Homo-oligomer: A and B are copies of this chain.
Amino acid sequence: MKVSKDEIILAARELFREKGYAGASMQDLADRVGLRKASLYMRFPNKEALVPEVLEMTLNTTFSQPGISSPDWKTAYEAVIRSIAAALTDRHRCVGFHLAYGIGDDTPLAKQAVRDFFRSHLDRMTDILARAMPRETATIIAADDLARLEGATLHLALFDDPTSMKRAVDLALGPVRSH
């Protein structure tokens, strides 16, 4: 194999993040990894099938950062927030968010994958917070913290401005520290 499957998924992630689902072409993906378009269909049955793989890889790396599996909930939550924020700050956009906006009912497998992607984020964040507070409260905090991080990518994507993301991290971590 000239190119590993992970390399293709990685390139597909960049493509989806930058151009969205509709704007990403298989030809462009083939060019980026140095294969012919037809060869991509050896590994993936179609374009839609790339989406679950991209999101699964992203989810895994996000939640594989050190500290996230700490028994101390403060340590774990801070690690999650920082892991997400670091990825978003680095790339200026969120693949999942771009796909969430752009994917329609014509690609149901991709749509479900996007839902699972964010549901996993929310569940894992909620589980950590629920160690120290009622689950109901944890659910709300997780949802709002994630929304704030995602929203801060607006300033990154448009104005190359990371300060809003930094404040989003501080605001998510402030109450945790003083808990």
- CB within 8 Å of B: which residues of A? 18-23, 93, 97-98, 100-102, 104, 114-115, 118, 140, 143-144, 146-152, 154-155, 157-159, 161, 163-164, 167-168, 171
CB distance from A18 to the nearest CB of B (A): 7
**How would you classify the secondary structure of chain A's contact residues: helix, strand, loop or mixed?**
helix
Q: Which B residues are in CB contact (< 8 Å) with A23?
A: 20-23, 102, 104
| Given the contacts A20-B101, A22-B23, A155 and B164 also touching, CB distance less than 8 Å | no
Expressed in whole angstroms, the Cα–Cα distance for A168 and B19 within the complex equals 28
Contacting residue for A158 out of B93, B114, B149, B167, CB 8 A: B114
CB distance from A25 to the nearest CB of B (A): 9
CB distance from A109 to the nearest CB of B (A): 15
Expressed in whole angstroms, the Cα–Cα distance for A93 and B20 within the complex equals 15
CB distance from A104 to the nearest CB of B (A): 7
| Given the contacts A144-B168, A151-B150, A115 and B159 also touching, CB distance less than 8 Å | yes
Q: Which B residues are in CB contact (< 8 Å) with A163?
A: 140, 143
Expressed in whole angstroms, the Cα–Cα distance for A22 and B163 within the complex equals 29
Q: Which residue of B lies closest to A117 (CB)?
A: B158
Q: Which residue of B lies closest to A115 (CB)?
A: B158
Contact A101 B100, beta carbon cutoff 8 Å: no
Q: Which residue of B lies closest to A101 (CB)?
A: B98
Q: Which B residues are in CB contact (< 8 Å) with A158?
A: 100, 114-115, 118
Q: Which residue of B lies closest to A97 (CB)?
A: B154
Expressed in whole angstroms, the Cα–Cα distance for A151 and B148 within the complex equals 5
A-B CB proximity, top 10 nearest: A151-B151, A22-B23, A147-B151, A150-B151, A22-B22, A20-B102, A147-B152, A98-B101, A20-B20, A143-B164
